[in-house]
Every structure is written in structure tokens, then in C-alpha cells.
């Protein structure tokens, strides 16, 4: 029994914020942002639009592509660090709005690795008896972005991506997932306030602790190292080489990180899905949005070997190998 991705879907809010728009907010330039990150523009939610609103559209598109109805779902795993509310889980809000009456539902927090972690959870549950699991990555990063901090505000965007993972009798599907963490590097990317360590307060807001803080340069180096390591670990687990990979779908944080990784691996850039120029870093949504685009434009085809690779706050890093 294998777990197979039978449908994908994605959604980004209509509003687009370009680098030129950000030039009017902080001391930066379109040229700096494009050269240092590869980002040209990002989508940002309308007032009142929340994580579950984005997740709902992406999930409906994935269910339609899979030919699975919401009432057939056994489980919904929603990866996010920007849920609608601390309580209840955003996955439960999505479960209700989809009408997934039989499904268990929970949120998963692994920052930018959330989708690959959630895919690992879905794989385990399907191999042990579930028939259909909905995996979603949905983020409203603009809500935790400090729009006065040029070090971070140029990087992030909002969006959602989803995949239906179904039981399958044939050999195709998720071959394995490889999930890692190292909390000793927790201070590289953090939202310090708003939890139980520094609860919401006027002082917390004055100190702007509700926003993401990042040591970008250190994160960059760890990202390159861990993405390379986990890719090699994944390929070795199946006795396949880099040249066997048909398509690599990495987390879309920075084009220079991805180029450094594929250069070290010896993987040609033509085999890499890149879309951060139009979305920025959408955290847990980045890989499923990129995967959905590649599925819909025909770059992902039956029988191909697809590798996913992610890293993010925690720190966490992860990969998945899929025979499509
Ligand atoms: N515009 C102009 N200048 C800027 C900007 C900006 N937007 N941001 C920073 N700078 C300046 C800095 O102040 C610094 O100036 P200084 O030398 O005078 O001090 C200079 O540019 C270089 O800064 P670096 O941080 O060394 O720039 P770097 O080349 O590392 O690029 C970046 C910064 C883009 C943040 C990069 O480090 C990066 O992408 N890091 C990884 C980010 C990431 O992937 N995060 C993980 C996921 S997030 C999650 O899990 C939720």
C-alpha cells in the first residue's frame, strides 16, 4: 500500500505588492530585492482575509483535481504558523467549511517545512489504513511581517497550497519523507511575542515583538547545508542518483539559496521549480503552490521522480521523494 498525491490545488490573494511598492515603505530598491532574493512581487491578503480563507480555495481545487469529495476525507492536516486564531485550530475551521464531516483535523507547526512534515504524517496514516488525507499549507505571512523592517519585509508573501493524499495499490506515490529539527538554532527565525513566553500586551506591541525577526545571513548558510544534506540522504535511501530526479521542488525562500544547493548537488536548474519571483516566501504554502503550478502546466508527469526540499524556523529541514 502506498500513499499517492491524487490532486493538487493552490490559491494566492488577488492583491499584488511589487518591489516598487516596497520601495515606498522602506529604504530598499527593486534591484537589491531581485538580485539578493529573486523576488519581484508577492500576494497579500485583503482586509479581513485570514488563513482559512486561503486554505479553503486551495483545498477545494485539490479535491476537485483528485475527484474526491470532502465527505470522503479521513483527516485534514493544515500546516501553518499564521492560523486564524490560537484556538481552535485552523484545520477545524477548514473541516467545517469544506463539509468534511468524517475527518479528524489538526494544525501542524513546522514553519516553512510544514507541508513536507504534513505530507509525512499523511503518508504514515494512509499506509496504516486511512483512505484520503487532505494536506494543506496556508499562510498569511503579511500579518507577522514588520513592514518597517527592510531586512524581512521584502521576503514574505501570502498564499495556500493543498494536496489530496490517497491510498493506492500500485508502486507509485510517496516513496519516503525525511524530517529533521534542531532547536538549538531557534533564535535564527522567530516571532518572540504573542505566545505564553511573552503574552500579548501593550508593551509587546510597542516593542514590535509580534513580528518575525530573522538572522538572514546565518539562516542562509544553514539552509544551503541542510537542503543539500537532506537531498543526499533521501536519494541514498532509495539507491538513486541526482541524475534520476526529474524535478526538484524546493522551498521558495531565496533563489540564491536554491542555486547554491542545486550547484552542490549537480542538478541542472532546468529541473528546478522556481516561482518566488511572483510569490515571495509563503512559508508552509511555498512548496504546494510551486508543486501545483508544475502539475497544472505539465512539468510534473506520470512516472517521474519528484523531490521536495524544505527548511525553516525551528530550525527544521525536510524532504520527500515521490514517484508520480
Ligand atoms: N534593501 C537594501 N538593503 C538591505 C535590505 C533591503 N531590503 N535588507 C538588508 N539590507 C542590507 C543590510 O542592512 C546589509 O547592510 P550592511 O552591510 O550595511 O549592514 C546588507 O544589505 C547585506 O545584508 P545581508 O543580511 O548580509 O544580506 P544577504 O545577502 O544575506 O541577504 C537575505 C539577506 C535576503 C535576508 C538572505 O540572507 C536570506 O535570504 N536569508 C535566508 C532567509 C530565509 O530563507 N529564511 C528562512 C525561511 S523563513 C521561515 O521559516 C518562516
41 is written with which cell numbers?
A: 512581487
Radius of gyration in angstroms for the set of CA atoms belonging to the chain, rounded to a whole number = 19
281 counts as catalytic: yes
**Statement: the pTM of the whole predicted model exceeds 0.95:** yes
**Angle 222-223-226 (CA atoms, 0-180°, nearest 5)?**
80
- Contact indicator for 71, 95 with CB cutoff of 8 Å: no
- CB of 253 sitting under 6 A from ligand 1: yes
81 counts as catalytic: no
Rounded CA-CA distance 48/193 in Å is: 22
Rounded CA-CA distance 83/55 in Å is: 10
- CB of 22 sitting under 6 A from ligand 1: no
Dihedral over Cα of 256, 176, 246, 115: its sign: negative
Enter the DSSP assignment of 46: P
Residue pLDDT tens, the chain, 324 long: 899 999 999 999 999 999 999 999 999 999 999 999 999 999 999 999 999 999 999 999 999 999 999 999 999 999 999 999 999 999 999 999 999 999 999 999 999 999 999 999 999 999 999 999 999 999 999 999 999 999 999 999 999 999 999 999 988 999 999 999 999 999 999 999 999 999 999 999 999 999 999 999 999 999 999 999 999 999 999 999 999 999 999 999 999 999 999 999 999 999 999 999 999 999 999 999 999 999 999 999 999 999 999 999 999 999 999 999
The three-class DSSP label of residue 60 is helix
- Closest Cα partner for 154 from 25, 58, 283? 25
Enter the DSSP assignment of 138: E
Q: How far, in Å, is the centroid of ligand 1 from the Cα of 216?
A: 5
Amino acid at each position: 500500500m502506498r500513499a499517492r498525491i491524487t490532486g493538487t490545488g493552490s490559491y494566492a490573494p488577488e492583491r499584488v505588492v511589487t518591489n516598487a511598492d516596497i520601495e515606498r515603505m522602506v529604504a530598499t530598491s527593486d534591484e537589491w530585492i531581485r538580485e539578493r532574493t529573486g523576488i519581484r512581487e508577492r500576494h497579500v491578503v485583503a482586509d479581513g482575509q485570514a488563513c482559512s480563507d486561503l486554505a479553503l480555495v486551495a483545498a477545494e481545487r485539490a479535491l476537485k483535481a483528485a475527484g474526491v469529495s470532502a465527505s470522503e476525507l479521513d483527516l485534514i492536516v493544515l500546516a501553518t504558523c499564521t492560523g486564524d486564531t490560537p484556538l481552535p485550530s485552523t484545520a477545524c475551521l477548514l473541516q467545517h467549511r469544506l463539509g468534511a464531516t468524517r475527518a479528524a483535523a489538526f494544525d501542524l507547526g513546522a514553519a516553512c517545512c510544514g507541508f513536507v512534515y504534513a505530507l509525512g504524517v499523511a503518508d504514515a496514516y494512509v499506509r496504516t489504513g486511512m483512505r484520503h488525507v487532505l494536506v494543506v499549507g496556508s499562510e498569511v505571512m503579511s500579518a507577522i511581517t514588520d513592514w518597517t523592517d527592510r531586512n524581512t519585509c521584502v521576503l514574505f508573501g501570502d498564499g495556500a497550497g493543498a494536496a489530496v493524499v490517497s491510498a493506492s495499490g500500485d508502486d507509485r506515490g510517496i516513496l519516503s519523507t525525511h524530517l529533521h529539527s534542531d532547536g538549538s538554532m531557534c533564535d535564527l527565525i522567530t516571532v518572540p511575542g504573542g505566545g505564553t513566553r511573552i503574552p500579548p500586551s501593550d508593551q509587546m506591541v510597542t516593542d514590535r515583538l509580534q513580528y518575525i525577526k530573522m538572522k538572514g545571513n546565518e539562516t542562509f548558510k544553514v539552509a544551503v547545508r541542510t537542503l543539500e544534506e537532506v537531498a543526499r540522504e533521501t536519494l541514498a535511501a532509495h539507491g538513486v542518483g541526482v541524475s534520476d530526479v526529474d524535478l526538484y521542488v524546493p522551498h521558495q525562500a531565496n533563489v540564491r539559496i536554491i542555486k547554491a544547493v542545486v550547484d552542490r548537488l549537480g542538478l541542472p536548474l532546468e529541473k528546478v521549480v522556481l516561482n518566488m519571483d511572483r510569490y515571495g516566501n509563503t512559508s508552509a504554502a511555498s512548496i504546494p503552490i510551486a508543486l501545483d503550478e508544475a502539475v497544472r502546466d505539465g512539468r510534473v508527469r506520470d512516472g517521474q521522480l519528484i523531490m521536495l526540499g524544505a527548511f525553516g524556523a525551528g530550525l527544521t529541514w525536510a524532504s520527500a521523494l515521490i514517484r508520480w
